[in-house]
Structure 1
Amino acid sequence: MEKKLFIVFEGIDSSGKSTQADLLKDYFVTVGEQAVISSEPTSGIIGNLIRQALKQRIIFSRDRNLFDRQMAYLFAADRHDHLYNDIDGVFKLIENNYHVISTRYYFSSLAYNCDTVEQFEFIKKLNDSFPNPDITVYIDIPIEVSLARLQERSLQEIYETKTKLTKVREKYQQIFSEYKEKVIVLDGTQDKHRIHQQIIEFVHTNFT
């Protein structure tokens, strides 16, 4: 493939994003292409701060609206570093002939960090300057499936509740029903290899 791609996986918690990102990376390597997984939150300073907040080891505010706004700012700052830093930023890696695969991007901020129209517009404006990925893969699963998978984890993060995930899933469905760029929406309850094959077919249909 002449063009090196920036591919983003989105979906509610435990939808299979990481599994499919790993499978796609392995596929690229198998066919002789360089690929790397570079996800959000990143492993940088701001990304680590976000991870601690999600685990509730850091509490910015007991007010959920203020907390969500703080997280939106942090995610935007981390996203800017993710894209543009000169060491392992997305565009630096693409320049070095890597396909870059990310689990989560600005769609996650739009889905997770707002509950009202006003909050949505604020976060949209905060992320407006970030470029769209070449391909977005949205993996959709029922809330009950997500919660069942999350029970296998030893630590639950702040957004991993039935009420929150229900709202997040609804926002994702709205976002991708209106999104005009290249996106594939997949049923995450399918066999993981079937999902992977659909992703490969979509990539080749659009970029070879």
Structure 2
Amino acid sequence: MNNIVEKQGYFIVLEGIDGAGSTTQAELLQDFFLNNEQKVVISPEPSSGKIGKLLREFLANENPFLTQDLYDQQMAYLFAADRHHHLYNNIDGVKKLTSENTHVITTRYYFSSLAYNAKTQKEFEFVSVLNKDFPPPDFLIYLDIPVEVALTRILDRTTLEIYETKEKLTQVKANFDKILSNYPHKYLRVDATKTREEIHQEIVNFLFSTSS
């Protein structure tokens, strides 16, 4: 296999609404790198750090605030703090791992904060400011799926998160389209209704064509 990396590992982000299949594709991509004797880790957001654990508690429970707006603001602050730790901590941070020739595959990044925590232009600008100094990933892959299909997949889960409703996911999908239409870097949009094997192959092809 041609080496996808010369000096360092790559930071690879998989995005999409809930139910798009980012976890499955992250695992397939991890297996691909391991089978080709390259170092790789899956490091999702929220992270496994203390702030990330707090975020997961919030997501698994009812909104503790008087309004949804206050809840979204709190989540935006927490995600930004967790993201900073995820990138820069010197134990298992993204920057440390990639400098050691390890690929880091992340499901969700600042794109998700913009998509999930902003209903209005004012909120979008607020979340943008919180995330403006975070670096773009080396590779961005967006798994595009109809809301109805995503909801069907989500219903198979035993526990639903607070964001997993048709109304919310419809809004989030529209936000992703807005974000990507203005994204200045190259990215891959994949039809996430394809088979997992077809999607995986498209992702691998994108990584090699972009890095060559």
**Superposition TM-score tier, normalisation by shorter sequence:** over 0.9
SS of equivalent residue, structure 2 residue 122: helix
Distance 2:38 2:124 in 1: 37
Matched, 1:172 2:176: yes
Q: Which amino acid in the other structure matches residue 41 of structure 1?
A: P
Matched, 1:73 2:77: yes
| Residues 13, 141 of structure 2: 8 Å contact kept | yes
Distance 1:180 1:120 in 2: 17
> Cα deviation per residue 1:173-204 (whole Å; 9 max; x = unaligned)?
11112211121000000011011001101100
Matched, 1:47 2:46: no
% identity of equivalent residues: 51
Task: Pick one of 140, 145, 150 that aligns with 2:144.
Answer: 140
| Residues 9, 100 of structure 2: 8 Å contact kept | no
Distance 1:152 1:17 in 2: 16
Shift of 1:60: 3.9
| Residues 60, 162 of structure 2: 8 Å contact kept | yes
Alignment of 1:149-160 (within 5 A): 149-160=153-164
Moved over 4 A (4+): none
Distance 1:10 1:60 in 2: 27
> Cα deviation per residue 1:44-77 (whole Å; 9 max; x = unaligned)?
11001110101116x4413100000000000000
Task: Pick one of 96, 102, 110 that aligns with 1:98.
Answer: 102
Quote the residue 1:19 is aligned against.
Answer: 24
TM-score when normalising by structure 1: 0.97
| Residues 134, 182 of structure 1: 8 Å contact kept | no
Equivalenced residue count is 207
Quote the residue 1:8 is aligned against.
Answer: 13
Shift of 1:206: 1.3
TM-score when normalising by structure 2: 0.95
Shift of 1:42: 0.5
| Residues 60, 70 of structure 1: 8 Å contact kept | no
Distance 2:84 2:72 in 1: 18
Quote the residue 1:162 is aligned against.
Answer: 166
Shift of 1:154: 1.0
User: What's the C-alpha RMSD, in Å, of the aligned pairs?
Assistant: 1.0
Quote the residue 1:107 is aligned against.
Answer: 111
Quote the residue 1:187 is aligned against.
Answer: 191
Distance 2:186 2:53 in 1: 30
Unaligned runs of 5+ in 1: none
SS of equivalent residue, structure 2 residue 134: coil
Q: Which amino acid in the other structure matches residue 56 of structure 1?
A: N
Matched, 1:37 2:37: no
Unaligned runs of 5+ in 2: none
Q: Which amino acid in the other structure matches residue 152 of structure 1?
A: D
Distance 2:13 2:85 in 1: 16
